[in-house]
Structure 1
Amino acid sequence: MQIPVRIPGGPDGRRLLAITFVDRVGSGLWGATAALYFLYVVRLTTAEIGLLLAVSGAVGIAGPPLGGLLADRLPLRPLLALVQVVRALASLALLTTTDLGLLLAFAAAGSLGDRASSVLTKLYATRIAGPERVRYQAINRTAANIGWAVGGLTAAGALTAGTPTVYRALLIGDALSFVATALLTLRCTEPTPSHTVRTTAAPEAGTAPERKAATGPWRDRRYLLYTLGEIPLCLDDSIFKIGLPLWAATATAVPHQAVPLFLVLNNALVVCFQVPFARFGTTPAAARNSLLPLAAVLLAGGAAFAASAVDVPWLATAALALAATAFSVAEMLHATISWELSVALAPPETQGAYLGVHGLAQATQRSVGPLALTGVIAAGPLGWLGLGAGLAAVCCAQRRLVRDRDHPAMSVPSLTVSKH
């Protein structure tokens, strides 16, 4: 895959883009058909499928901190390749049984590997891209969205047959994508952990000394609070996969055939604009200042969702399109902010452990997000207004939390040096 932009990180940066693309093609094949496979091939009940997805998602929450902890102690490249192999074996194991207990164990192992690989990939990208980490993450996310679209479209075409053999072939395709990413990972070089070099003037008389770095993320109150605030700000995944479709179908006059177009709109906006949005997170200060525009966009998105609850189809469709656009912009802006602040607030020597804790936000959202969105829908238009206002308030709280008063990374210009 060739992308007509300059890629930070040199050859390893390009290889990681290929890894992300292949990974997401496989995820698109399986993610769009997992529930249908368990329903039509394995013959689980709806309740059993819900239990399977809920338990595996809950186990996956442990993946980010575990992966981050290991990354500070082991070479990153073979660790990432090993995790991909675990994902492949877990996927293939699903083909071997219809027993719910075994399916729970295999799905949980796959979920654990999936969330761990996400953090390890982010850490690898951070180390190879250095000061351009936000721009690189934006390009990487674009490759991920393109890969997901390719996988999803392939799955949609294959499912026109709808036979058990087709479902099994899609699951095998997902497993093979992990094998391919493991092999591609082994072709990368091992990056040297990043070092943050700061030059500070001697403190003036009467000023407080620089705060001593926390010994780990679990003792860093600021980082834990920041990660806690990230959980609701990661809801865009549940909003587009659950909130928008269910709301459109049950509370609006939007034609059902228009609903998939909103998801296409989201994907297209991310592919086209995620890289330009990287300029809003080039420094910790820029990322912090972008939290206020993010709050405004989230508030507008909640209001647009509320306004879509009308009986006029064209008006409801227009309002929902505006809501989808607003939350797509919020998704891109938050991703940019999060990439920068999650690294800037972490001491370089324990970067893996910190990013692992930060990864808990997305993993937790995957478990609690669906339940939260069903509650918002049940509350009607006021639920969406409340969600928008609540997310805006979280942004304002985050901005205050990461103010530059007593955190070196937020107040002193820094140069991140990455050798690879």
Structure 2
Amino acid sequence: MNKPLAGKTILLGVTGGIAAYKSATLCSRLVGLGAEVRAMMTQGATQFITPLTLQTLTRHPVATDVFDERDASIVQHIDWADSADLAVVAPATANMLSKLANGLADDMVSTTLLAITAPLLIAPAMNVHMWEHPAVVENVNKLASRGVTFVEPGTGQLACGYVGKGRLAEPDEIVEAIVAMLVGPKPLAGKNVVVTAGGTVERIDPVRYITNDSSGKMGFAIAEAARDRGASVTLVCGKTDEAPPHGVRVVKVDSALEMREAVMERLSEADLVIKAAAVADYRPARQAASKMKKTAESLTLELVPNPDILLEIGEWREVRGGAAATKPFVIGFAAETTDVEKHALDKLKRKKCDLIVANDVTAEGAGFGSDTNIVTVYGSQGLAEKLPRMSKRAVAERILDLAQAGIASNRPSGDGSEAIK
């Protein structure tokens, strides 16, 4: 029987919600896959499922009290934290999310997790209104910005009678996430990836600004895909329609100047930079300190050029010894409406990047805000790959395939033939 988790120690924290009963199935699945599971429970969790149940399934004592030290030679919560390859909290209540986000340690679960150095996977479960509460959203985002991975709750009938998002993900879904984190293919493990996403906001006055229609979805898909391939991902995020993905470091910016600063200060540590953001080419020469009042006269707005971030990256690499020999590997985007290939190849050459991902944003299924995209990728030798209409996540996967080939060969990927399948 295949046991992909053999030799792995998983620390499972169970907190006090009705979904705690699913932790028994989760334990059983993990043990069946060969994992060594150490379960710990809050006092609330013991009201829904007994420690004996989890002890029987894991064949290990269950920890419920941080002061219940059974072995004088060790401090249990530190010993367990040190031994874990992965820590999982399922279910995680709103209360536990708050503790973990704010560094509180007043029970066995929160105290142990404060000492953990292994990756942390959280599967929340709660009432739909609790899940959507601003405090909970803030805590989730705070944890995600620290690199915590989430298996988001599902939508359905909740124990409280409501129908909505908040139900604990099914055990098999959580197991799938665990296996992916511990034994899944990680071709970008050890690599630092910087991704930009969304549009920039160029202020005219405190209530008006210049921007564009970028939703950030393409950049988000790339960040998620790089995260799942094991990379340490920094997402420099402008104006977007949706919340950024979990498990990546999020740097929020508004203007092109702020985005430039955020990218350039991280450049020396980056192995791969993917500039998917739609950065404004111009900004107002002057920003009014207060709201501009309407007058009977026409208004002329003077614009000045914004810095060209992609070009600066290329020039920075050139100074350091040449694009082909110097990291990071750089991928730019070209959102066009006419002469896509001509403009893309010109941008590739002028901005000294390794690949350009071009699309016609007027095409159905390829424009801003769409969940799909239709792109053509160009390298130093011309056409690298032409992709049909597909989900932005699928596009992201193929872009990363080409990037990995370029990184592995230490030179720009020109025709896509070296791509990792």
TM norm structure 2: 0.24
* Higher gyration radius (CA): 2
Which structure is higher in strand share? 2
Instruction: Give TM-score, length-normalised by structure 1.
Output: 0.24
Higher relative contact order, structure no. (Cα contacts within 8 Å, ≥ 6 residues apart): 1
